[in-house]
Amino acid sequence: MKMMVRIGNVHIGDGSLVLIQSMTNTPTMDTTATVEQCIRLFNAGAELVRITTRNLEEAENLANIRRILREKGYHQPLCADVHFNPAVAETAARLVEKVRINPGNYGTGRPLPPEAYTEEVFLAEQEQIRKNLRSLLAICREHGTALRIGVNHGSLSARMMARYGDTPEGMAESAMEFIRLCREENFHNLVVSMKASNVRIMVYATRLVVQKMKAEGALYPVHLGVTEAGEGEDGRIRSAAGIGTLLAEGIGDTIRVSLTEDPAEEIPVAQHLVKLAEKWKTAGKPEQKAGPGKTSFEPRPVTPLPGHVTALVVADSADGTSPCQTPPDILFLTKPSLLLNLMPGQMYLCDHEAWADLFTDLPLIMPLIPAGHFEHFVTRILPSLPAPSAPAGQPQKSRLTKPHEPASGSQRPIALLASPATLTPIFPLLQNTPSVLIVLQSFSPHPSAEFREALSLMEKSSLRNPVILNLNYATDDADALRIQASAEAAPALIDGLANGIWLRNAGTIAQETVVSAAMGILQACRLRTFRTEYIACPSCGRTLFNIMDVLRKVKEHTHHLSHLKIAVMGCIVNGPGEMADADYGYVGAGPGRVTIYKGKNPVRKNIPEENAIAELIQVIKENSDWMEVPHPGE
């Protein structure tokens, strides 16, 4: 049964519109600053605002913040963000419309070694949680306050870690334990969230908890967000990939885009995602044909292109040169009749008709064959062509200005251009040609649904062809492109069904920006790394330094370390845990103080903030992960 939940003057769940949230980053005791920021967020389009609530003093000040907002005509609901202290949650529940608690640290005992969590100890701690929760639920029921059970990948309790590990299953069970306790008390004004900085884990954990709630007969509203997503291009791509994947499947009742920027910058991204979700609703539910999304990473087996990784980027090129410093894996020749400047060793795609006229003797230029011509090509044309055999380093055509070396082997690489509708009829041909690269395109209002259906059928048919998702847009707004492309490509990529991406845009956005978005999407989906990954929290009232300035400075010094993941965290609440995927971490330890981490281990404790970046660099060097900034041309 789908549950509808009331949060102040709004309702969520059971078909209601997706509600947009944000969070203040002002000190909660600075009433004026917090009220002003709430107003800015509400005016920008936020429909609920969450406020850091660390202690009883801050909890009590929520009454002043709420009162002033009401006096100024703002009646949107407020949410208290509480960690650790049940008494703080109980006070806040009397004063605002919603309280978020974290099962990983709400009323749990002192962490024990994993082997100490016998069944008896596990259940004893559960009983203590029940007692703490029962008191909070009574207050929430009396005041009509909603409760969010907000699980965070970075702060699972020691007992859940001991039983399930640092996994989506552990996150889902952490939430389900609290949900079951609430249901025992006949309390149903619940919202659930599964947040992680790792997009794949966030998606899998959310799918898993939804499956478990359905199995137990009560589907509560779900809040979506990729925590510590960072800022700029990568922050938007990671947020859109995670949130968009789930919205595309009909999962999600409220969303928050967590950016390490001014909180008001989160709202346009969230609004774009909500508009996409409304459009997707008109195109049906993908799970009806493709089945539910995966909850563990089991990629579809493929036959990779020789000499290439299994996660590819394709990009347009008019003259055969790369549009960016890091060349895409495959370049599509948009103007093959031009005098070309082909790069040695670079793989190219070309329209099949131009290829037949110009490039049949060049083995690293693949013909792109429409599905309607594919059978004729592979049964009639391809067998009649001699194997490409030009000697390495020799110009293949007089109009080439650089040598273009042939690929090794005699098998000629070819590519198929198909839509989901035209792909399935030629499955029998593909059974015998597993190395054919499929470029799968969709012009549906819900492309991810079409992609998933076709790719799921390929998986069931044991087809091993690599598949590139081809998405076409016409926009002059780079952020709009990043958000929509991430949301529409990510579902198939996160589940390991597709093997690459080709973004095309008819607007004025520079081709380098389009390619950068494609690379960012593959990285967000954990398929490939192109650049340094920064895990950075969005800042809140707990943050112990100006995280936006610090992140900018850390990037200035480490942007060239593309093999690393570096975390910049404002405080200790989620810091060390959310750095589970990070190689190094910069975490606030106190006012003006920072702790540097190597993995999950603190290696420089409580150092002055002014020395922290130098210490971070030194730790990276000590672990042989430092590289000097390359000079141009190197």
**Domain final residue pick, 224, 255, 275:** 224
**Cα–Cα distance for residue pair 577/297, rounded to 1 Å:** 21
> What pLDDT does residue 323 have?
86
Residue 238, number of CB atoms within 10 A of its CB? 30
Picking from 439, 449, 460, 528, the residue whose alpha carbon sits closest to that of residue 489 is 449
CATH number, domain containing residue 605? 3.30.413.10
- Is the predicted pLDDT of residue 407 greater than 50, yes or no? no
CATH number, domain containing residue 83? 3.20.20.20
**Cα–Cα distance for residue pair 280/449, rounded to 1 Å:** 9
**Domain final residue pick, 195, 224, 253:** 224
Q: Are 412 and 549 found together in one domain?
A: no
Q: Are 159 and 25 found together in one domain?
A: yes
Q: Is residue 245 in a domain?
A: no
CA angle 413-417-420, nearest 5°? 130
Burial tier of 592 (Cβ tally within 10 Å: 0-12, 13-18, 19+): middle
**Rounded average pLDDT over 598-626:** 93
Q: Is residue 540 in a domain?
A: yes
Q: Are 347 and 422 found together in one domain?
A: yes
**Mean per-residue pLDDT over the chain, rounded:** 89
The answer to pTM > 0.75 is: yes
**75 neighbors 108 (Cβ within 8 angstroms):** no
Q: Is residue 597 in a domain?
A: yes
What are φ and ψ of residue 241, in 5° steps?
A: -65, -45
Place 390 in a pLDDT band, splitting at 50, 70 and 90.
very low
Q: Are 83 and 155 found together in one domain?
A: yes
- Is the predicted pLDDT of residue 313 greater than 50, yes or no? yes
Q: Are 463 and 482 found together in one domain?
A: yes
Distances in whole angstroms, Cα of residue 85 to Cα of each of 13, 54, 103, 106: 28, 8, 11, 6
- Is the predicted pLDDT of residue 301 greater than 90, yes or no? yes
DSSP state of 229: B
Question: Which domain covers residue 574, as residue numbers?
Answer: 533-622
Least confident of 64-68, 84-88, 305-309, 455-459: 305-309
Q: Are 204 and 81 found together in one domain?
A: yes
